[in-house]
Amino acid sequence: MRQFDLAPLYRSTVGFDRLFSALDQYVAADPAPSYPPYNIERTGENAYRITVAVAGFTETDLSIEVKENALTLKGERTPDANNPVTFLHQGIAARAFERRFQLADYVQVTGAALENGLLHIDLVREIPEAKKPRHIQIATGRGSAAPAIEGKVKQAA
């Protein structure tokens, strides 16, 4: 595996330390597990959906947790003690799993649904008004910049 030296980026940037730490972790991490398979799709300008193939799992076998900027999906089937099954062939994998997704700032999980063996997790990026770009009006004449500083700021379209 090829190693990348991010030290020059640390020296010439401010406030990107979380991004560079995430890159360091990603490069150093083991290859991603392939089970269960999943898709990540963009469903709108600020909307996303993660779809995970969880055939054989029920809602009670699955858990979804969001902590800080990490989404963790866990699955563990609990065998039915009252109805034990003897398989002649078991081709449908139902082993326990844990899959993590790193979320960008302001990305929130809005819902999850289990449908036809697929778990759909919907996400949306909601940037707070204070973080959105603003258009600052330029006043003409001497001393007329005070109203813009006091809060007469127009939101950008």
DSSP per-residue string spanning 92-117: S----EEEEEEPPTTEEEEEEEEETT
pLDDT at 139: 87
Q: Which two tokens stand for residue 130?
A: 């204070």
Q: Which two tokens stand for residue 41?
A: 């799709």
Class of CATH domain 35-126: mainly beta
Q: Are 102 and 122 in contact (CB under 8 A)?
A: no
More confident residue, 101 or 79: 101
Residue 77 has pLDDT above 80, yes or no: yes
Residue 145 has pLDDT above 70, yes or no: no
pLDDT at 26: 64
- Which range scores top for mean pLDDT: 26-40, 66-80, 82-96? 66-80
Where are the chain's structural domains? 1-31, 35-126, 127-157
CA–CA separation, 53 and 114 (whole Å): 10
- Cβ within 8 Å of residue 63, ≥6 positions away: 73, 74, 75
pLDDT at 7: 67
Mean pLDDT of 36-45: 92
Q: Which two tokens stand for residue 86?
A: 């003897």
CA–CA separation, 149 and 137 (whole Å): 10
- If we measure between CA atoms, which residue out of 142, 156, 48 comes closest to residue 102? 48
Confidence of residue 113 (pLDDT cuts 50, 70, 90): very high
Confidence of residue 90 (pLDDT cuts 50, 70, 90): confident
Mean pLDDT of 27-52: 84
More confident residue, 79 or 115: 115
Q: Are 99 and 72 in contact (CB under 8 A)?
A: yes
Read off the pTM: 0.65
Percent of the chain with pLDDT over 90: 34
Q: Are 47 and 68 in contact (CB under 8 A)?
A: no
Confidence of residue 92 (pLDDT cuts 50, 70, 90): confident
More confident residue, 85 or 62: 62
Confidence of residue 14 (pLDDT cuts 50, 70, 90): low
3-state helix, strand, coil in the chain (%, to 5): 20, 35, 50
